[in-house]
Chain A
């Protein structure tokens, strides 16, 4: 008799699923964890330059965060207890465990994504602005929504720039960046996927752009494109070329932001593709060599097709991230000069938070969402990426 279909066994499973916690493992690692925390604490306290990071300050910060975390843990603990009582004890539902495990994530998603999304839709159908800012000061109506959505497409989303110009520029930005991310990542992954001395060192150095916080990297790169003191112009002068006004001219500013984003994005693709390359069985290449296939033939017939399950979703992710790449544009060019490097998300930020057009900004955000949703849906349908889930 199948233990899955037996109702008594099923109810037993629902009541007491078999979960073992490795308490011994936890107790073995706890001293090491405490030692690491202690060393970091000592080092921070020791350095005089960290005078702002006093024990009082750390205790105060940990207390503030700790109270919040404790509250969060208590909240979810109560949710789990309630779900256990209702789903396991009372209803004896066979899927109780699955829902208990999903509950925290679902609540988090609902709070951090679903609710703000619905709220954004509501604002898009309101007359919210600086004069109508606080709750109670603005109204909702279909007319406001029509006005807001219409103004996104027919009016200026920035001071002098319309939606379509920014839309077109965003696609140019995305296509160029993703193309170079994939090509650059593929090239470096192919170079690293072989016997190579100091491979670990090269891999570490190549991953550094991804490891550095994006804000710091973007601000540093902004300095490197300075007309007089930047590394890029000094290098150009060194090879006999004239200096370029990177941040003052529209096309050089766009190129500067693009170069920076390419530099920041290649490591991610490289790591993903390297993982994919290492999962390709060596027997394919051995067979191809026996058959006399050249390097290019091996790449075209073995490597590239077998990389598709890895490259395809990475490309979709890269497209979405690059389409929404706020940090690089905002920190390096601020969308300038003269709004000529603004992409949709930076224009959206300015519309909402610098021009106080909250209703139009919310409508703008929904338009951007549908653009990306459509792209993702078409891509997933074409590639069948989610076939395994539904079959």
Chain B
């Protein structure tokens, strides 16, 4: 017994000594290297060692680029260690709220703009314009800034503009993109007749984000965020017609699978078993890899015009943003600002365009021939031009959650579009009233 207690005492002393040992200090970080573009704002890099933890919503090849670029940032900023952790969008939202309460959250977020409303309302993030200064944002494209506006302030530094859905098609399977919905249905049917077992069109049928472009095409929108609090507008004929239209693609025209979630649709397109996919700009990188291009010759176009109304579908436009957790202060905040500056510098934004094939947020980068000379990016920009900013208010969560189950019931012919629209509206109104 005595031996055990002696051992316990020795371990306790050793552990306390190790834990209390002063951290080794690194020499002061060098100033930004000359290879960084002059558009980088001079932000102080912390003098002592700093570890920056970033939660990033990018995955796959896009995440590889982020990590590699972060390594380059580290080499230019000795003393700053960057850890990039991937979290999918939903996990990031949930986990950040939990971690922020425990005081153990990340130092910087790389995420979508619809988190802004939730995090800002819960006071978990600081307004980016307070951190970087309002003038800082003059160098970004207007859609990029607009999508980060909440309660009159800019809450995120834009990395890319868009994050919108568009029609992506495989030119190995169909030569051109359809211009309207009738043509889309005809082309899909012809393709399926010639290629049994394959699909003319696929998309994520489980999430209402993929319904949003079509409700725009039918002249509606899920939320009126000009009012405070925002008002749900799901109980409209436009929403009913939208859901009926999508159900007809599945049940009457039979040009989409009876079941397809995001991974299912993505897999069918990558395997060459679907001619067209409605997916977002974040997916383009995955369809242009060396492996993917053996099957896919990618074309990008607008989602076809709704024949019944003559309107172009309006996908929700947003972007990807840096958000600053409210708990990030001192040296970590300085390091985070330096990191943000680096990633929105022209050189890095151009590299972002080249590697991830997404529209940059920096105006200078958007005017570069790399962007203006790319057919894929032109198509993406063309689609974004008819998009509408996604509401970032927390009430949008209510709209999504109310829309989803009712839309799925229309898809499976359990209820009509009118019934689903009414029920979704009632549920959204109830949800919004409980947000207080």
Contact = CB atoms under 8 A, between A and B. Distances in A.
Asked if A and B bind, the verdict is: yes
Contacts of B434: 129, 355, 357
B96 to A, nearest CB: 11
A341 B121 CA distance: 31
A74 B16 contact: yes
Q: Per DSSP, are chain A's interface residues mostly helix, strand or loop, or mixed?
A: loop
B9 A134 contact: no
A249 interface: yes
Nearest to A350: B401
Nearest to B19: A71
A159 B406 CA distance: 10
Interface string B107-147: 00000000000100111100000000000000000000000
B5 A227 contact: no
Given A354-B397, A357-B434, A130 B118 contact: yes
B206 to A, nearest CB: 8
Scoring A134, A159, A226 by chain B CB atoms within 10 A of each residue's CB, the highest score goes to A159
Interface residues of B, number: 46
A188 B89 CA distance: 43
B436 A77 contact: no
B68 interface: no
B124 A354 contact: no
B408 interface: yes
B11 interface: yes
Contacts of B1: 16-19
Interface in A223-275: 226-228, 245, 247-249
B400 to A, nearest CB: 9
A82 to B, nearest CB: 11
A291 interface: no
Contacts of B412: 245, 248-249, 337
B408 A248 contact: yes
A70 B101 CA distance: 25
A354 B434 CA distance: 12
Contacts of A73: 11-12, 15
B12 A130 contact: no
Contacts of A339: 405
B182 interface: no
B431 A130 contact: no
Given A134-B122, A353-B94, A77 B9 contact: yes
B15 A71 contact: yes
Contact of B2 (A16, A78, A159): A16
A245 B406 CA distance: 17
Given A134-B122, A137-B123, A159-B402, A77 B18 contact: no
Interface in A120-152: 129-131, 133-134, 137
Contacts, number: 116
A308 interface: no
Interface in B420-436: 423, 427, 430-431, 434-436
Interface stretch (B151-159, B257-265, B282-290, B373-381): B257-265
Contacts of A77: 8-9, 11-12, 15
A137 B124 CA distance: 12
B427 A129 contact: no
B306 interface: no
A161 to B, nearest CB: 9
A247 B436 contact: no
B405 A245 contact: no
A81 interface: yes
Contacts of A173: none
B259 A228 contact: yes
Interface string A343-380: 00000000001111100000000000000000000000
A245 B258 contact: yes
Interface in A155-171: 156, 159-160
Contacts of B175: none
Given A74-B11, A130-B118, A337-B405, A159 B411 contact: no
B308 interface: no
Contacts of A134: 101, 122-124
B414 interface: yes
A336 interface: yes
B227 interface: no
Contacts of A245: 258-259, 412
Contacts of B401: 159, 354-355
Contacts of A129: 434-436
A1 B65 CA distance: 79
Nearest to A353: B94
A78 B12 contact: yes
A354 B398 CA distance: 9
Interface string A56-86: 0000000000010011011001101100100
Given A77-B12, A226-B264, A248-B412, A336 B259 contact: no
A341 to B, nearest CB: 11
The residue among B2, B412, B423 with the most chain A CB atoms within 10 A of its own CB is B412
Interface string B224-247: 000000000000000000000000
A70 B19 contact: yes
Interface in A201-240: 226-228
B4 A159 contact: no
Interface string A5-46: 000000000001111010000000000000000000000000
A80 B5 contact: yes
A74 B405 contact: no
A176 interface: no
B418 interface: no
Contacts of A17: 1
Given A159-B401, A159-B405, A227 B257 contact: yes
A81 B12 contact: yes
A338 B406 contact: yes
A74 B2 CA distance: 17
A84 B123 CA distance: 47
B409 interface: yes
B431 A355 contact: yes
B15 A131 contact: no
A96 B411 CA distance: 67
Contacts of A249: 412
Nearest to A74: B15
Nearest to B398: A355
Interface of A: 16-19, 21, 67, 70-71, 73-74, 77-78, 80-81, 84, 129-131, 133-134, 137, 156, 159-160, 226-228, 245, 247-249, 336-339, 353-357
Interface of B: 1-5, 8-9, 11-12, 14-16, 18-19, 94, 97, 101, 118, 121-124, 257-259, 264, 394, 397-398, 401-402, 404-406, 408-409, 411-412, 414, 423, 427, 430-431, 434-436
13 contacts: A16-B1, A70-B15, A130-B394, A131-B436, A133-B97, A133-B123, A134-B101, A137-B123, A226-B259, A227-B259, A228-B258, A355-B401, A356-B435
Given A338-B406, A356-B397, 19 more contacts: A16-B2, A19-B1, A70-B15, A78-B12, A80-B8, A81-B5, A81-B8, A81-B9, A81-B12, A129-B434, A130-B435, A131-B435, A133-B123, A160-B427, A227-B258, A228-B257, A337-B405, A353-B97, A354-B401
